Structure 1
Amino acid sequence: MKLYLAFLIPILIGACKSADKHVESVNDIKSNILKSIPKVKISDNIVSITNFGAKGDSVTDNKPAFDKALKTCKEKNGCKLSVPAGTYLVNGPIHLSSNTSIDLNDGAKLVFGTNAHDYLPAVATSWEGTFLYNYSPLIYAYKASNVAITGKGTIDGNGANGFSKWYDLQKADQQLSRQMNHDGTPVNKRMFGKGHFLRPQLIQFYECKNVLVEGVKIINSPFWSVHFLKSENITARKVKFNAFNRNNDGFDPEYSRNVFIEDIDFNNSDDNVAIKAGRDHEGRKTAAPCENIIIRNCRFKGLHGVVIGSEMSAGVQNVFVENCTYAGDCKRGIYLKSNADRGGFIRKVYVNNLTFGKVEDGIYITSNYHGEGKGHVTDISQVYFNNIKFNNAANSGLVIQGYPGKKVNNINFSNISIDTCANAISFTNAENIILGNLIIGKQATTPSAAK
């Protein structure tokens, strides 16, 4: 990046003149997002899973009990299914319908079985940004509204003993799914499941409206932990994660809008929040941006704090990350990643009032993720970082990597401090970058006098 003072001064003056108006408009966007998310209507019809023969003895297969209970709930146009304290083995998926919630009482634990055949027949889903049919997510809602998972209990995906073992077997199917994406293979021809090795998500809401996930603890996921796919009006609050298998992201909103994530305790072996919008050809064709997302008052711990990408081909916009801190180390604090296969855009991202402890890289923006792709470079612009502190960045503090023909542009860093840092700033193919009140390393004091 070439940065000349004569060029920078007008930018800063213009920014100051429009600052108040900009802040007001941004606050209006955020306020309108919160107003647009309705409170999920929890049914007054409360039934206990034990009324359907369930036993929390860690041995009984409670899949038949859940099937009966949820069928009854559907026939009654919804219910609140209460799960008392105990350990409930469930050999197969739980499928939620509209107006139905599962409430896990304090001391209740769902443990899912590890026999892959129990998660067939294959259902409509998505895998790393490509629509297809695959093993059912362990808890799955499709085209439902007013659905919720609440309580103080635990959801154990039992991934380490089951599907997670497929990680080393998935490469051929992963490549096949991507080829089908690029070739435009009809989705009903993309049949995975039996004989294939794509791990299912632990929890997925697909084309759902008015979704609530609150209070529960989520552990031992086989793949992504909670996937919001083409859904809207979502609230996730006071959830706790302990998920250490491969690709155990916390929350993955994809092609989704109006998402509010608040007061979460993350502890994931992968991204805490990964915002996505489809992969490559299919994402660009779907053209449904992931947008209007607020993440606040969370504690980050794991691989990365908040990520946008790399599957984001339909675009991501209006993302707010604010008032968060750390519960442990992260590899990267904020990570925006794309490559020249993706296309789409990342814009109108506002990151405010964050504190991190030890990271490898503080803020990392790249258009060249894994050095892959050609022909579809992402437009990354209008990203604002303010009042962010890192105790230590073992590798790099601030990184931007664009392309000569498509530079990352209009990025604003203000009030950023990094106490210790191996490599302060690395900007390539970037323009219109505004830096204000940056302290990387020890803050300079009064100049010493000549001796």
Structure 2
Amino acid sequence: MKRFVCLILFLITVHIKAQEQYNRDSIVASIERQILLPTIPEYTVQITDFGAKGDGVKDCKSAFDKAMKVCSKQNGGTIVVPEGIYKINGPIHFVSHVRLHLEEGATLVFGTNPKDYPMVLTSWEGTTLYNYSPMIYGYNVNNVAITGKGIIDGEGHSLWSIWKPKEAKGKQLSREMNHKELPIEDRVFGDEFYLRPQLVQFVNSKHILIEDIKVEDAPFWCVHLLKSESITLRGIRYDAHNKNNDGLDIEQSKNVLIENVTFNNADDNIAIKAGRDNDGRNTSEMPSKNIIIRNNNFKGLHAIVIGSEMSAGVENVYAYDNKAVDYVKRGIYLKTNSDRGGFIRNIYVENTQFLDAEDAIYVTSNYHGEGRGFFPSKISNIHISNVSFGEISNTAIVIEGYPKLKVEDVWLDHITIKSAKNGMTLTNTKNVQFNEVVIGEKQTVPSAVN
């Protein structure tokens, strides 16, 4: 009897401690203190002072290069782009302490000749390599910003769109180089490999702000933050409907705030990643972590995604007070396979309203059926609460682990799903707890015999 009482007291103590350990407001405030907005000197230039014309005809590439160079000599400043359409045949490469400000009515339209985009150190679906420069690119820069009500247009529907069916050779080669751990300097792609560039990418950078701009027609991923930290992404708007047009890809980055973003893109709205296979595992000291996702409007393929490139690990994600404004294929989607390794842990999704979807909550260690079992991933400590869905055309809740490494410690609390073709699939799981989970019509008093 004494042992039984002690066990009950122990379980109560553990439960209380678990509750005490999670205080969202305190945790979020702690992360926010580590996210510093960029400091930009007061020096300001107009892009038109360097020969740029917003007529949609003149190539303004040299004007942006000159403006960046002048700001660099001044130890930073703001480049103002007034109303107009600015054609740019090649990338804008950022320097530290610079803000690119697009006034309302300003549109940057990037050219589509791959030869205008030099090779830079980047990453493609989680593998580090050299490829065509993203259209806006910053490497090893600090205190940078892209702001204003203007538009960044990648013209992805043109030549870049026909590269998607041709990318298999380059994609496969990149993964072989990853698995064989070839030196990065030998991983040079570009001509005849058809790996499309990202629209906006910052690498190894710190104190980044992207605010209010509209993103359109990206060739590949829209906005990619790689191995960076202290990042604020807010008020961004999307109209991007090409293949692989992820909205925000956060990869091996930390201390990130994503808020008040209006998504309307053809792939994942927010994808949190951490490198693929050996590349990710060999940089395990750089997981993606400390990410706040709040007050966003979802519309696109999947809303909140972790993976599938997550081999360095993803932890400490706090998503709350978001909503879907239209259909999404999957609402909450955690995906990996048994060759990724790494971990997904300490994920909190709260107070979020979705509409109709194909699957509501999908957690899988068997993404695309890939993997030979050499590096299973550990998925644990997943909390989903106060989340609602409309009609689900496939399955309401899927949680599937790996036989040798189960999905563990999942809490589903106050989940309501209007209807679903299939209710729930749980395989290879441990300690999945439910409270007030309703799929279909909520049942109350049982019917009488007659």
Q: TM-score, normalization: structure 2?
A: 0.96
Query: What is the RMSD of the two structures over their aligned residues, measured on CA atoms?
Result: 1.4
Kindly provide the CA deviation profile for residues 144-193 of structure 1, in whole angstroms up to 9, marking residues without a partner as x: 00000000000000011132221011100000000000001000000111
Structure 1 residues 52 and 189: alpha-carbon distance in aligned structure 2, compared to 1, 3 A threshold? same
8 A contact 2:41–2:75 mirrored in 1: no
For residues 352 and 251 of structure 1, the distance between their equivalents in structure 2, rounded to whole angstroms, comes to 20
Q: CA deviation at 1:22?
A: 2.8
Aligned to 2:55: 57
Aligned to 2:107: 109
Kindly provide the CA deviation profile for residues 72-112 of structure 1, in whole angstroms up to 9, marking residues without a partner as x: 11111111000000000000000000001100000000000
Match of 1:186 among 183, 187, 206: 183
8 A contact 1:12–1:434 mirrored in 2: no
Structure 1 residues 68 and 380: alpha-carbon distance in aligned structure 2, compared to 1, 3 A threshold? same
Match of 2:133 among 136, 153, 174: 136
For residues 349 and 19 of structure 1, the distance between their equivalents in structure 2, rounded to whole angstroms, comes to 14
Match of 2:327 among 326, 329, 342: 329
Equivalent pairs counted in the alignment come to 441
8 A contact 1:157–1:222 mirrored in 2: yes
Match of 2:164 among 167, 170, 188: 167
* SS of match in other structure, 2:157: helix
Aligned to 1:4: none
Match of 1:118 among 108, 111, 116: 116
For residues 357 and 171 of structure 2, the distance between their equivalents in structure 1, rounded to whole angstroms, comes to 30
For residues 265 and 335 of structure 2, the distance between their equivalents in structure 1, rounded to whole angstroms, comes to 19
For residues 11 and 282 of structure 1, the distance between their equivalents in structure 2, rounded to whole angstroms, comes to 42
Aligned to 1:407: 406
Q: CA deviation at 1:30?
A: 2.0
Note if 1:280 corresponds to 2:287. no
Q: CA deviation at 1:424?
A: 1.2
Structure 1 residues 87 and 438: alpha-carbon distance in aligned structure 2, compared to 1, 3 A threshold? same
8 A contact 2:248–2:271 mirrored in 1: yes
8 A contact 1:263–1:299 mirrored in 2: yes
Aligned to 1:436: 435
Structure 1 residues 128 and 112: alpha-carbon distance in aligned structure 2, compared to 1, 3 A threshold? same
8 A contact 2:94–2:138 mirrored in 1: yes
Aligned to 2:152: 155
Note if 1:381 corresponds to 2:389. no
Aligned to 2:3: none
For residues 10 and 417 of structure 1, the distance between their equivalents in structure 2, rounded to whole angstroms, comes to 32
Aligned to 1:360: 358
Letter in 1 for 2:382: V
8 A contact 2:287–2:312 mirrored in 1: yes
Aligned to 1:261: 258
8 A contact 1:340–1:367 mirrored in 2: yes
Match of 1:233 among 230, 250, 253: 230
For residues 47 and 403 of structure 2, the distance between their equivalents in structure 1, rounded to whole angstroms, comes to 60
Letter in 1 for 2:404: G
Letter in 2 for 1:156: D
Kindly provide the CA deviation profile for residues 221-270 of structure 1, in whole angstroms up to 9, marking residues without a partner as x: 00000000000000000000111000000010101000100000001110
For residues 147 and 129 of structure 1, the distance between their equivalents in structure 2, rounded to whole angstroms, comes to 24
Aligned to 2:368: 370
For residues 21 and 298 of structure 1, the distance between their equivalents in structure 2, rounded to whole angstroms, comes to 28
* SS of match in other structure, 2:299: strand
For residues 206 and 133 of structure 2, the distance between their equivalents in structure 1, rounded to whole angstroms, comes to 20
Structure 1 residues 72 and 445: alpha-carbon distance in aligned structure 2, compared to 1, 3 A threshold? same
Letter in 2 for 1:261: I
* SS of match in other structure, 1:70: helix
Note if 1:398 corresponds to 2:389. no
Structure 1 residues 132 and 335: alpha-carbon distance in aligned structure 2, compared to 1, 3 A threshold? same
Kindly provide the CA deviation profile for residues 96-137 of structure 1, in whole angstroms up to 9, marking residues without a partner as x: 0000110000000000011110002x0010100011000000
Letter in 1 for 2:447: S
Q: CA deviation at 1:408?
A: 0.5
Letter in 2 for 1:31: A
8 A contact 1:348–1:381 mirrored in 2: yes
- Aligned-pair identity in percent equals 50
For residues 249 and 220 of structure 1, the distance between their equivalents in structure 2, rounded to whole angstroms, comes to 11
Letter in 2 for 1:309: G
* SS of match in other structure, 2:22: helix
Q: CA deviation at 1:12?
A: 8.4
Q: TM-score, normalization: structure 1?
A: 0.96
Q: CA deviation at 1:195?
A: 3.0
For residues 112 and 202 of structure 2, the distance between their equivalents in structure 1, rounded to whole angstroms, comes to 21
Structure 1 residues 205 and 194: alpha-carbon distance in aligned structure 2, compared to 1, 3 A threshold? same
Q: CA deviation at 1:18?
A: 3.3
8 A contact 2:54–2:84 mirrored in 1: yes
Q: CA deviation at 1:447?
A: 2.8
Mark the runs of 5 or more structure 2 residues left unpaired by the alignment. Answer: 1-7
* SS of match in other structure, 1:439: strand
Aligned to 1:72: 70
Q: Which moved more, 1:38-47 or 1:312-321?
A: 38-47
For residues 203 and 10 of structure 1, the distance between their equivalents in structure 2, rounded to whole angstroms, comes to 54
For residues 139 and 410 of structure 1, the distance between their equivalents in structure 2, rounded to whole angstroms, comes to 41
For residues 57 and 13 of structure 2, the distance between their equivalents in structure 1, rounded to whole angstroms, comes to 67
Q: CA deviation at 1:306?
A: 0.7
For residues 226 and 446 of structure 2, the distance between their equivalents in structure 1, rounded to whole angstroms, comes to 56
Matches within 5 A, 1:340-351: 340-351=338-349
Q: CA deviation at 1:40?
A: 1.6
8 A contact 1:401–1:428 mirrored in 2: yes
For residues 13 and 370 of structure 1, the distance between their equivalents in structure 2, rounded to whole angstroms, comes to 40
Match of 1:201 among 183, 198, 207: 198
Match of 1:318 among 292, 316, 319: 316
Match of 2:244 among 247, 250, 257: 247
Kindly provide the CA deviation profile for residues 362-416 of structure 1, in whole angstroms up to 9, marking residues without a partner as x: 0100001011112100000000000000011110111011122111010000000
Q: CA deviation at 1:16?
A: 4.5
* SS of match in other structure, 1:349: strand
Aligned to 1:308: 306
Q: CA deviation at 1:23?
A: 2.8
